[in-house]
């Protein structure tokens, strides 16, 4: 199956100040990660391309990704950053609208107070996305799911995708409230979900596929193969698993699915969600 899209990965030139979230426990990723570091991994694992997602909060980051995409055709789409709370948001989105590789935007809401998604200026920014058919990636911790639910209900015509299945506590195995909230948010037609970032929510050194299964069961039961897409979360995944292992974990889980459903998860859903 060559037609695969990695719907979630990152590039950066490592900057210890800007990238302070990459702390001493993450030494494996305290370095540059650029397209030439990813291309061979994609090829080796039968991916034809990827969606590059912002890792830092600046328009400089968005421009960095635009430049990489211009020189690397396998970068099929970009989820950039723009200040959604800026009163001139319409003008900023208009500025980026000439860049056809930009498919949507993301804000690191997991680093914000839990009521951030209720802010009027943020919601004004979300409302502005529709004019350009931009998507929005929801990056949150599981405790922020109720706020995300309110957001997606408030904007029924906006396409949303939940990153990293909303970061359940895989390490402790306590997923009861996460499960309840996922069951609720998955009911909304405008919400998709990325099967990504799971290994880093598990025990980095000791996790096994069985630890991820209860969470995979929940997202597949609720979102179905129609609204799920694969993302490696490379290079962040490297702290817990290499690229091939992340891919194989999902391959094994969906191996008994129909070819049609497998194709949706690996390729079709990302392609249609991001209009690649």
pTM above the 0.85 mark?
yes
Please, what are the domains in the chain? 5-274 (3.20.20.140)
Local confidence pLDDT in tens for the 276 residues of the chain: 558 999 999 999 999 999 999 998 999 999 999 999 999 999 999 999 999 999 999 999 999 999 999 999 999 999 999 999 999 999 999 999 999 999 999 999 999 999 999 999 999 999 999 999 999 999 999 999 999 999 999 999 999 999 999 999 999 989 999 999 999 999 999 999 999 999 999 999 999 999 999 999 999 999 999 999 999 999 999 999 999 999 999 999 999 999 999 999 999 999 999 999
CA distance 5 to 229: 9
Peptide bond into 110 cis (omega under 30): no
- Is residue 69 within 8 A of residue 103, CB to CB? The reply is no
């Amino acid at each position: 199956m060559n037609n695969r899209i990695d719907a979630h990965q990152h590039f950066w030139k490592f900057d210890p100040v800007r990238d302070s979230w990459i702390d001493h426990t993450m030494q494996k990723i305290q370095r540059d990660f650029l397209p030439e570091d990813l291309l061979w991994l994609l090829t080796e694992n039968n991916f034809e391309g990827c969606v590059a997602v912002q890792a830092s909060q600046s328009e400089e980051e968005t421009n960095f990704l635009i430049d990489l995409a211009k020189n690397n055709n396998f970068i099929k789409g970009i989820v950039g950053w723009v200040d959604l709370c800026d009163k001139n948001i319409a003008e900023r989105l208009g500025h980026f609208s000439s860049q056809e590789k930009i498919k949507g935007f993301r804000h690191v809401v997991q680093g914000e107070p839990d009521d951030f998604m209720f802010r009027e200026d943020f919601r004004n920014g979300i409302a502005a996305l529709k004019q350009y058919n931009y998507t929005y990636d929801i990056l949150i911790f599981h405790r922020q799911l109720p706020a995300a639910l309110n957001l997606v209900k408030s904007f029924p015509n906006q396409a949303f995708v939940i990153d990293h299945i909303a970061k359940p506590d895989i390490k402790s195995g306590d997923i009861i409230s996460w499960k309840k909230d996922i069951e609720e948010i998955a009911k909304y037609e405008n919400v998709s979900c990325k099967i990504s970032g799971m290994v880093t929510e598990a025990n980095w050194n000791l996790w096994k596929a069985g630890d991820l299964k209860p969470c995979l069961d929940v997202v597949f039961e609720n979102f179905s193969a129609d609204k799920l897409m694969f993302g490696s979360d490379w290079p962040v995944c490297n702290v817990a698993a290499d690229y091939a292992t992340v891919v194989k974990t999902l391959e094994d889980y969906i191996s008994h699915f129909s070819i049609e459903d497998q194709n949706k998860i690996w390729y079709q859903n990302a392609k249609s969600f991001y209009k690649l």
